[in-house]
Structure 1
Amino acid sequence: MNPANLPFDSEAMLQGLRVWVECESPTWDAAAVDRMLDIAARDMAIMGASIERIAGRQGFGGCVRARFPHPKAGEPGILIAGHFDTVHPIGTLQNGLPFRREGNKCFGPGIYDMKGGSYLALEAIRQLARAAFTTPLPITVLFTPDEEVGTPSTRDIIEAEAARNKYVLVPEPGRANNGVVTGRYAIARFNLEATGRASHAGANLSAGRSAIREMARQIIAIDGMTSDDCTFSVGIVHGGQWVNCVATTCTGEALSMAKRQGDLDRGVERMLALNSTSNDVMFKVTRGVTRPVWEPDAATMALYEKARGLAKAMGKELPHASAAGGSDANFTGAMGIPTLDGLGVRGADPHTHNEHIEVDSLAERGRLMAGLLATLE
């Protein structure tokens, strides 16, 4: 079976993808994410998959796991892992990022990260089924609700499902150079809390101790810790309640990223060492979710070479690289399971109001995914 001969149609795929994109699904809106999972579950049920819904926890939406019919059902096969949560709040379609087409670009919240990739993965399965082609290995699809905040509620499900399979394919956004991802940097998140002493900001300012001031001082120190080996940034800050009161509380969230696990471990130690109490002000750092470094091993590189050969046969180069920015491939790759990431659409500007895909990459990357599903054994 030659995947290049399968009748992928980017225009038709875009119409199906539009339904997904116009179902806004920000991470912290569990009901919205569940609505998106409902759509995908229905699509996969129509394709013949056995659908299992897994209830959410920790305030997040649930998961959907789909197993497609296969003579070797129950044996280790291929796991396609994706997420349906996005960073864009409800209303983004009407205010800032409407679904629209401009030439070969199509815009919309989550279209690039990562609904486009998830959609093309299902289209690849659909095309193989229509061609009456039985893949060498059974296929499982797992869609989750919380990747954009570090996968705090579903890491255990992802790792358990990955352990039951031989390969993991992750259709996160493709690289601008048509590349794929064979490794991911390590990432740690931190919760920050400053506690001061209240006073009237006008009548008795000197009696107070500002938590906001302490947070500002610590933010400068955290940013100053960034090096070539490990980066640090504070991305969220909330503080104070009344402008005429010295703020007693201020909270924030920080993120650290490193190419090597040892560098991240040292970065974590530096962050936790910021815990302190001085001049009636307390500053506390607690560790949040962490993604382990994923460094490609021989098995992952063999999987990449398989993909590279398929792309070459279709007239495309397929470079690879380790990438900043985490994904659920951090977990499966770190487990030693052959994993290939960045198999989704090409595009640009994820997490912004300019997020878009290159429409023609829907069919191109769909054929690559189909080729992998048809040849991995």
Structure 2
Amino acid sequence: MTNPLDLPFDADEMLAGLRPWIETESPTFDPVAVNRMMDLVQHELAALGAITERIPGRMGCGDSVRATMPHPKMGQGGILLLGHMDTVHPVGTLTKLPFKRDGNICYGPGLMDMKGGNYVYLDALRKLMAAGVETPLPVTVLFTPDEEIGTPSTRELIETEAKRHDYILVPEPARPDGGAVIGRYAIARFDLQTRGKPSHAGWQLAEGRSAIARMAKAVGQIEGMTTDDCTFSLGVFHAGQWVNCVSSVCDAEVLSMAKTQELLDEGVSRMMALNDDSGDVIMEVRRGVTRPVWEPDQPGTMAMLSLAQEIAGELGIEITGASAGGGSDGNFTGALGIPTLDSIGVRGKDLHTLNEHIFVDSLVERAKLAAALYCRLGA
């Protein structure tokens, strides 16, 4: 059998394949754009001989693509490659952050989070098939459109699919030290609205009750609740249309991260306690989507990490394992107790910014890791 570590991976070839993925911008809130990305990846999967399914989007989100890779046991449970194709970068970001290589660095919106990892793990399947290597377990691929907003429309799809499989691979970007994620903190989202009383800001200012002013006071209060183990961040703020009008409505969104379920429950209680209709301006707090705590050190996941570390040793690199903040769809599969190895994708820096980039040498490194995982899981 061909050693998967000897497969002919080539960084230049991989970057050429990645370029159209990155230049097909796919922000979550633009389902038409996301679906263009799904068109692209569905075509590539079909070209590999996979049986592909297009699962229609809902809740205003784009479609998902599920692909069953060729295998004597295709359709049965085995390994699930789980990734998202949506990004946080709006269409047009390419003008500020074009796909560009500079030595060992390559830039592009969504390249680190997480199109680079998705491509690498798909390329590993491509090379294995070209070499005639049959993996011990069949592989199913599921790419989704809404991870960046908490996976409101595809959580049930992910959990249902994951339950059919023995192992879950989530090629989110590697941790800063290049390590994998073997557990994740809980993430809770909240939708806030203040409602006041409008008035003309110049003629009858005293008659108005500003929803903006009330929400502004809440920002410091909410972010002031942050501790090392439970954080709160108000990241979206929408209000006002006319500067000469006292704003009567203000909307905001808050993200909370907690290291344990107990801390999450406490954080949720503190947020919900901000509901207040006693004054001239009403504060309403509604709970949004939540990612459950994925407890670390589960035996199946630790066995996957041990295998990845064995492979890494053969590659001359080190892969650590740790819990992490920043939710992913691995929260769902890990919380279900299904062996899950997360953040095994490319190495890079500055995801979610206009300096998002990957380290080019991580492409071949991670492709070899992926190929070996496919060949050794279930062997």
Verify same fold: TM over 0.5: yes
- C-alpha distance in 2, partners of 1:246/1:175? 45
Q: Which residue of the partner structure matches residue 208 of structure 1?
A: 208
Following TM superposition, by how much is the alpha carbon of 1:256 offset from its aligned partner in structure 2, in angstroms?
A: 0.3
Deviations 1:97-151 (A, max 9, x none): 0111111000011011000000001111011111111100000000000000000
Give the Cα separation in 2 of the matches to 1:140 and 1:213: 51
Which residue is 2:172 aligned to? 172
The alignment yields a C-alpha RMSD, in angstroms, of 0.9
In the aligned structure 2, how far is the partner of 1:156 from the partner of 1:279?
40
Query: Shift in Å at residue 295 of structure 1?
Result: 1.3
Q: In the alignment, residue 360 of structure 2 is paired with which amino acid?
A: V
Aligned to 1:68: 69
Instruction: Please report how far the alpha carbon of residue 28 of structure 1 lies from its aligned counterpart in structure 2 after TM superposition.
Output: 0.6
What is the alpha-carbon distance in structure 2 between the residues aligned to residue 364 and residue 161 of structure 1?
28
- Residue 73 of structure 1 and its aligned partner are, at CA, apart by 2.1
Q: Distance in 1 between matches of 2:124 and 2:312?
A: 15
How far 1:20 moved relative to its partner? Answer: 0.4
Amino acid at match of 1:185: Y
Question: Counterpart in 2 of 1:269?
Answer: 269
Structure 1 stretches of at least 4 aligned residues deviating more than 3 Å after TM superposition: none
1:279 deviates by 2.9
* Alignment match, 2:145: 145
Once the two structures are overlaid, the 10-residue window that deviates more, 268-277 or 239-248, is: 239-248
Distance 2:261 2:370 in 1: 30
Helix, strand or coil at the partner of 1:270: helix
Any residues of structure 2 matched to 1:9-20 within 5 Å, and which? 9-20=10-21
Return the alpha-carbon distance in structure 2 between the equivalents of residues 245 and 68 of structure 1. Answer: 58
Instruction: Kindly report which structure 2 residues correspond to 1:40-59, keeping only aligned pairs within 5 A, or say none.
Output: 40-59=41-60
- Aligned AA for 1:92? T
For 1:176 and 1:286, the matched residues in 2 are separated by 34
2:49 & 2:241 partners in 1: Cα distance? 54
1:331 alignment counterpart: 332
Using the aligned pairs only, state the percent identity. Answer: 60
Per-residue CA deviations over 1:311-365 (Å, capped at 9, x if unaligned) read 1112111111111101000000000000000111001000111000111111110
Secondary structure, aligned partner of 2:45: helix
Question: How do 1:215-294 residues align onto structure 2 when only pairs under 5 Å count?
Answer: 215-294=215-294
After superposition, the C-alpha distances for 1:276-334 in whole angstroms (9 at most, x for unaligned) are: 02332100000000000111211111111011111111211111111110100000000
Q: Which moved more, 1:164-173 or 1:312-321?
A: 312-321
Structure 1: stretches of 5+ with no match in the other structure: none
Give CA deviations for 1:2-22 in whole Å, capped at 9, x if unaligned: 222111111110100011001
Instruction: Name the CA distance, whole Å, in 2 between partners of 1:182 and 1:313.
Output: 21
Q: For the residues of structure 2 that align with 1:375 and 1:233, how far apart are their CA atoms?
A: 41
Q: Aligned to 1:51, what secondary structure does the other structure show?
A: strand
DSSP 3-state at the match of 1:286:
strand
Q: Which amino acid aligns with 2:106?
A: C
| 2:54 maps to amino acid | R
- Residue 306 of structure 2 corresponds to which residue in structure 1? 305
Bigger CA drift: 238-247 or 23-32? 238-247
Q: In structure 1, what residue type is equivalent to 2:334? A: G
Question: For the residues of structure 2 that align with 1:340 and 1:166, how far apart are their CA atoms?
Answer: 12
Equivalent residue for 2:353?
352
1:63-112 Cα deviation digits (max 9, x unpaired): 00000111122322000000010011111111x10111111000011011
3-state SS, counterpart of residue 24 of structure 1: coil
Q: Contact 2:68–2:75 at 8 Å: present in 1 too?
A: no
Letter aligned with residue 176 of structure 2: A
SS in 1 for 2:190: strand
Deviations 1:185-232 (A, max 9, x none): 100000000000111211221111110111011111101111122100
Structure 1 position 194 matched with structure 2 position 194: yes
* Unpaired runs of at least 5, structure 2: none
**SS where residue 256 of structure 2 aligns?**
strand
Greater Cα offset, 133-142 or 202-211: 202-211
Q: Distance in 2 between matches of 1:65 and 1:229?
A: 36
Please give the alpha-carbon distance, in whole angstroms, between the structure 2 residues aligned to 1:233 and 1:335.
27
Please give the alpha-carbon distance, in whole angstroms, between the structure 2 residues aligned to 1:148 and 1:261.
Answer: 22
Query: What SS is found at the alignment partner of 2:93?
Result: coil
Q: Report if aligned partners of 2:180, 2:322 keep a CA contact under 8 Å in 1.
A: yes
Matched, 1:3 2:4: yes
Q: Distance in 1 between matches of 2:349 and 2:213?
A: 37
SS in 1 for 2:363: helix
Q: What amino acid sits opposite 1:192 in the alignment?
A: L
Q: Which amino acid aligns with 2:330?
A: A
